Amino acid sequence: MTVTLGQAPGRNFFVLADPENRWTPSTDTGTPTLLAVELAASHPVEAAFQYKEFERQRDELPGLVCFIVPAIGPRHASYIARHALAANH
């Protein structure tokens, strides 16, 4: 029997992170803290409003970053985001 695994279609996730752990308790691992990982809305207008809300939160606290991660699910998005942030520091 042969099983063929295809890649699941990716979706966009919005990520809000504290890469320097300035606003969250410091961890011994040095891993950046992800404050939110949220599936982007399927409608582009709603997704734009969602991202604006993430940007507003980022602007309220210096040092936070927000970005979009294409991923299969929220855990996958978290994994990608943490590794991307760690690679930049």
Q: How far apart are CA 13 and CA 69, in angstroms?
A: 5
Average of per-residue pLDDT across 36-52: 94
Q: What is the mean pLDDT of the chain?
A: 85
Confirm whether 4 is domain-assigned.
Answer: no
Domain of residue 72 covers 11-87
Predicted structure pTM score: 0.80
- As for how many domains the chain has, the answer is 1
- pLDDT, tens only, 1-34: 444 445 556 799 999 999 888 887 766 666 788 9
Confirm whether 5 is domain-assigned.
Answer: no
* Pairing of β 65-71 and β 33-39: unpaired
Q: What is the pLDDT of residue 31?
A: 77
Confirm whether 68 is domain-assigned.
Answer: yes
Confirm whether 33 is domain-assigned.
Answer: yes
Average of per-residue pLDDT across 34-39: 93
Confirm whether 52 is domain-assigned.
Answer: yes
* Residue 89 in this model has a pLDDT that exceeds 60: yes
CA distances from 87 to 35, 36, 84 (A): 18, 19, 5
* Chain centroid, CA 4 distance in Å: 29
Confirm whether 18 is domain-assigned.
Answer: yes
Confirm whether 2 is domain-assigned.
Answer: no
